[in-house]
C-alpha cells in the first residue's frame, strides 16, 4: 500500500470522466497557450506577461528550433510497438521485446488505458536508432534550458539549483524519452488524468486529444505546428508552493481515441526531466530549501496514482 506525503500529494482533485475524442471536440474548447522561443539560454515569450501566465497554466508552447529535426522521432512513435517485418523500417520496430535495464523503463502495456509506452532513460539511448537518440538529446537540452529559465525568473539563487534539482539543472538527473501509442481498438480511456511527477515535460503531439484542468476548467491543449507543448511537473510545483509566484503542475490526460478501421492511431512522444531516484524533493521556504521526501518514495506515490483504475488523484 502506498503511503502519501501530505506536502507532495496535495489536495485531492475531483476528476471528470474521460470523454471520447468526438465528445471532447464538441464540449471542450482549446485553452489559449502562451507562445515562446529559446534565444540562447533565455526563454522569451511573445507577450510581456506570458512567462507568469505559463507558470500559472502549467502549459505553454515552445517553438521547435530550426536545428532540431523531429522526423526520426515521429517515425519511431508510429512504429515502435509493431513487430519487425524485414523492411527498411525495422530499426524503428520491435521495441516491445527490447530489454531496457533500470527502473521504470522498457515497454509497458497499460491495463486500464489505451496507452502503450516505451520508456528509455538517457544512459540506454544507445539502444535507439542514432537519429532518435540525437533528437532526445536536443529535446532534453531544451527542457533543461526551460528549467534554468524558470529558476531565474523566480529569483531562485543559482547556488541552490543543482541541489534542488538533483543535478538536472547541470545536465544530470533523470532524462527519460517516452513514446506513446493509443490503441483505438481498446475500449477504455486514452490515459488517466494525472500530473507529471518531474520538473519539465517536452511533448511532441500531432492532433487534439490532450485535456487539462486549469483554474477549475477542463479544456483542450492542442498542438500548434512547429511547436512543442511544454508542461511543468509536480517536483517544480512542490518546490515553489510557498513562493509569491508558484508554478502549477496541472492535471491532464488523453481522451479515448476513436478511429474507423484502417485509420492510424494517435501517437506522441515526450522527454520527461526528473531528479534521479537517489535524489530528494524540496520545498523552498523563506529562502531555504527544505527536504520533504525522497524521490524514490515520491515516484512510487505518483506512479500509483497515474496508472491505477480509480477516479481519484
Distances (CA, A) of 119 to 51, 140, 196, 282: 30, 14, 14, 25
Please say if the pLDDT value at position 12 is more than 90.
no
**Buried b / exposed e along 51-80 (16+ C-beta atoms within 10 A):** beebbbbbbbbbbbeeeeebebbbbbbbbb
What pairing do the DSSP bridges indicate for beta strands 115-121 and 251-254? unpaired
Q: What is the mean pLDDT of residues 239-267?
A: 93
For the record, the C-alpha cell of 269 comes out as 512522444
145: cell is: 534550458
User: pLDDT class for 179, splitting at 50, 70, 90?
Assistant: very high
Q: Tell me the pLDDT band of 89, cut-offs 50, 70 and 90.
A: very high
pLDDT for position 1:
46
- Quote the pLDDT of residue 8: 81
pTM: 0.94
- Whole-number pLDDT of residue 220: 96
- Burial class, 142, CB count within 10 angstroms (exposed 0-12 / middle 13-18 / buried 19+): buried
Q: How far is CA 77 from CA 89, 181, 229, 272, in A?
A: 12, 7, 16, 15
Determine the pLDDT at residue 48.
92
Whole-number pLDDT of residue 164? 96
Average pLDDT along the chain = 93
Sequence spans of domains, the chain: 23-64+140-307
> In this predicted model, what pLDDT tens digit does every residue of 185-239 receive, in sequence order?
999 999 989 999 899 999 999 999 999 999 888 999 999 999 999 999 999 999 9
pLDDT tens profile 259-301 = 988 899 999 999 999 998 899 999 999 889 999 999 988 888 8
CATH class, range 23-64+140-307: mainly beta
Cα–Cα dist 269/205, whole Å: 7
Q: How far out from the chain centre does Cα 109 lie?
A: 18
Residues 231-260: what's their mean pLDDT?
Answer: 95
First to last CA, the chain: 15
Cβ–Cβ < 8 Å for 61, 229: yes
Residues facing residue 44 across a β-bridge: 37
Amino acid at each position: 500500500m502506498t503511503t502519501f506525503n501530505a506536502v507532495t500529494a496535495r489536495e485531492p482533485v475531483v476528476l471528470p470522466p474521460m470523454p471520447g475524442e468526438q465528445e471532447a471536440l464538441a464540449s471542450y474548447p482549446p485553452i489559449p497557450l502562451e507562445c515562446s522561443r529559446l534565444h540562447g539560454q533565455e526563454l522569451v515569450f511573445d507577450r510581456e506577461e506570458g512567462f507568469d501566465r505559463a507558470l500559472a497554466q502549467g502549459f505553454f508552447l515552445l517553438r521547435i528550433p530550426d536545428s532540431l529535426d523531429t522526423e526520426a522521432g515521429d517515425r519511431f512513435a508510429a512504429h515502435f510497438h509493431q513487430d519487425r517485418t524485414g523492411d527498411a523500417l525495422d530499426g524503428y520496430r520491435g521495441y516491445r521485446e527490447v530489454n531496457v535495464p533500470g527502473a521504470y523503463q522498457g515497454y509497458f502495456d497499460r491495463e486500464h488505458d489505451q496507452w502503450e509506452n516505451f520508456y528509455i532513460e538517457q544512459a540506454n539511448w544507445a539502444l535507439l536508432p542514432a537519429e532518435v537518440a540525437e533528437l532526445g538529446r536536443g529535446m532534453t537540452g531544451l527542457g533543461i534550458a526551460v528549467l534554468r529559465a524558470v529558476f531565474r525568473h523566480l529569483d531562485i539563487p543559482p547556488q541552490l539549483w543543482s541541489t534542488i534539482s538533483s543535478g538536472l539543472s547541470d545536465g544530470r538527473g533523470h532524462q527519460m524519452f517516452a513514446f506513446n501509442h493509443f490503441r483505438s481498438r481498446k475500449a477504455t480511456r486514452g490515459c488517466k488524468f494525472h500530473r507529471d511527477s518531474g520538473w519539465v515535460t517536452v511533448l511532441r503531439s500531432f492532433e487534439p486529444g490532450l485535456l487539462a484542468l486549469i483554474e477549475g476548467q477542463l479544456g483542450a491543449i492542442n498542438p500548434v505546428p512547429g511547436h512543442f507543448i511544454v508542461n511543468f511537473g509536480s517536483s517544480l510545483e512542490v518546490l515553489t508552493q510557498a513562493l509569491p509566484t508558484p508554478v502549477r503542475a496541472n492535471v491532464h490526460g488523453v481522451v479515448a481515441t476513436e478511429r474507423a478501421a484502417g485509420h492510424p492511431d494517435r501517437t506522441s512522444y515526450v522527454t520527461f526531466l526528473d531528479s534521479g531516484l537517489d535524489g530528494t524533493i524540496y520545498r523552498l521556504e523563506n529562502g531555504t530549501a527544505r527536504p520533504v521526501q525522497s524521490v524514490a518514495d515520491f515516484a512510487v506515490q505518483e506512479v500509483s496514482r497515474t496508472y491505477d483504475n480509480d477516479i481519484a488523484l
